[in-house]
Every structure is written in structure tokens, then in C-alpha cells.
Amino acid sequence: MFKGSNVALITPFKDNNLDVEAYVKLIHFHLKNGTNGLVPAGTTGESPTLSHREHQQVIELCIKESKGTIPVIAGTGSNSTKEAISLTKHAEKVGANGALVVTPYYNKPTQEGLYQHYKAINDDCGIPIIIYNIPSRSVIDMSVDTMARLFELKNIIGVKDATGILDRVDEQKKKLGDDFVQLTGNDDNAFEFNKRGGVGAISVTANIAPKLCSDFQKFSLSKSDNEQKEAERVDKILQPVHRAMFIESNPSPVKYAAKVLGLCDDEVRLPLVRITKKTKDEVKVALSSAKLI
């Protein structure tokens, strides 16, 4: 169920409020362009600055508008275990297909603390849980051994790996087997990630290039030599866009790109700010290079 191009959905704002009209438009943009899964209320969706009601609302809108046609993996992570349980239970109640749970940021738990955090969520909820391992933002790095312990639990099914370490794919595959779902959180390494045993991505770039990203994933997951070559060709087209999305802090660049494409405004919530003119120019060049504008 969880493979291919899954979009880490941005959350559009208007006058510092959730722009429901733009959000629904975004969802249907993905439904029409081959996106394989929707990931609302993740960190690309600015979850740290969403109110609890907004957090719930963006998940509910994804489920309502997609009508079961593609999976919805709700972002439900927190550095408070109690809050993560509450968010995950809500996602389960309203019909999400899975939950994306980030490793607890700032608290800096030990590997045992990480295990107990996810175990508590697992024990209190009944939907598939994907671990989100992103040391660059969370400070901590979940070890392969801890992941293997968690995979023994009933609801832990895989990882969004944003370590940027490709050898992890091999290590995790060797330790946890083929049934453990490995999705990259780094658009730029998706081709090699899938070659090593990954099955897709939770993608920032897919917000603005859903068709290219879904085509790339389809080709890269094929065993056909011709489709592998096609995946490589599409990957080269996408690389400048991937780089441009992280010139400044995500999701400010991708929100500007979405504005250029007429999808939503580029408003972000403090402490994030809109990107500089220099970065805007670079984003436009990248979009142009991929023939997105």
C-alpha cells in the first residue's frame, strides 16, 4: 500500500489561517497527476505551528477529498508521547491508512527511550505506523537495532529514512527483511535508494511536480532495463528542482514554487519566513529547467 510517490503536503495559509479552498485544490491536483499517497500534517506541512484543530482538519480534508482512492498517511508525531498518541488515535478514528511519526525532537531520548515512545503509540493505536528518522532536525538517530525491535510490534511497518546515508537501506533490509517498508525522505537520493531496496519516497518536490515524481517512482521500481533508463532520465530532470527546494528552510522554497504554479500562496508561519529574491530566482530557474513553467 505504501510505495511510490507520496507527497509531503504543504499547508496553504491565507492571512495566517488555513486556506481550505487552496488545500482542497492541492489535493485534487495530486489525485489528477498520479501521486500514490498523501501525507498531511507532516513537518513539510508546518505541523509544529498548526493548532490541534488545524492538524485534525488537514487530515480530515485529505481523507474526505481522496475518498479512499489513494492512501493517506497522517503526520502524527510529537516530542510528547501523550500528544503523539492523541494525534494518532484521531487519525485512526477519521480513517487514515497510516501514521507518520517523527522521532522526538529536542528531548534527545536514548535508544531505549525511542523504543518506549513508539511502543506506547503502537500499544494504544491500531493503524500502521511509519517511523520518521531525520537526525538533522531531531538531533537523534534511531539505530537499525532499535528499528528491528520496533518492527516486532504489531503496527510498526516501515521507515521514512531522511538520514541521507544510503548504506542504511542495505543495513535495514538485511536486518529487517523485505517486508519492512523503506521510503526515502530525501528526494535527491531516491533513485539509488530504490535500487538498494527502497519502495518509494515521501517527497517535498512532489508538491509541485507530481506527475514527474510519480512517473520516476514507477520507472525506478520496475525491473525493466528500459524503464530503469527512463527513471534515470527523469531523475536528471528533477535533480535541479530537488536542490532548489532546500536552498532555504523547507517548506518556504516549495511554497514559493507552488505560488509560481498558481497552486497556493507562499505564506509560511513564523519562525519561518518567505524566501529571498535571490532564492526566488533560483527556484524559477529550476522550475524552468524541468519545464514546469
Tens digit of each residue's pLDDT (9 = 90 or more) over 235-285: 999 999 999 999 999 999 999 999 999 999 999 999 999 999 999 999 999
Q: Distance between CA 107 and CA 220 in Å, rounded? A: 37
CATH number for the domain harbouring residue 156: 3.20.20.70
Count other Cβ atoms within 10 Å, centred on residue 152. 9
Is the residue at 272 inside a domain? Answer: no
Instruction: Tell me the three cell numbers of residue 21.
Output: 479552498
The DSSP element (H or E) to which 94 belongs, if any, is helix 81-94
For residue 101, being part of any structural domain is answered with yes
What beta strand segments (E) does the chain contain? 4-8, 13-14, 17-18, 37-39, 73-75, 98-102, 129-133, 156-161, 181-184, 200-203
Check 132, 255, 256, 259 and give the catalytic one. Answer: 132
User: Catalytic residue among 3, 23, 118, 160, which?
Assistant: 160
Q: Is residue 293 part of a domain?
A: no
In the chain, the N- to C-terminal Cα span, in Å, equals: 32
Query: Which secondary structure element, helix H or strand E, spans residue 193, and what is its range?
Result: helix 190-195
- Domain of residue 10 covers 4-227
57/219 Cα distance (integer angstroms)? 34
% pLDDT > 70, the chain: 100
**Number of separate domains in the chain:** 1
To the query of whether residue 115 is one of the catalytic residues in this protein, the response is no
The pTM of this model reads: 0.97
Residue 274 included in any domain: no
Give catalytic status of residue 132 as yes or no: yes
In a domain, 283, yes or no: no
Contact 175, 144 (CB under 8 A): yes
Q: Mark the ranges of the chain whose per-residue pLDDT is less than 70.
A: none
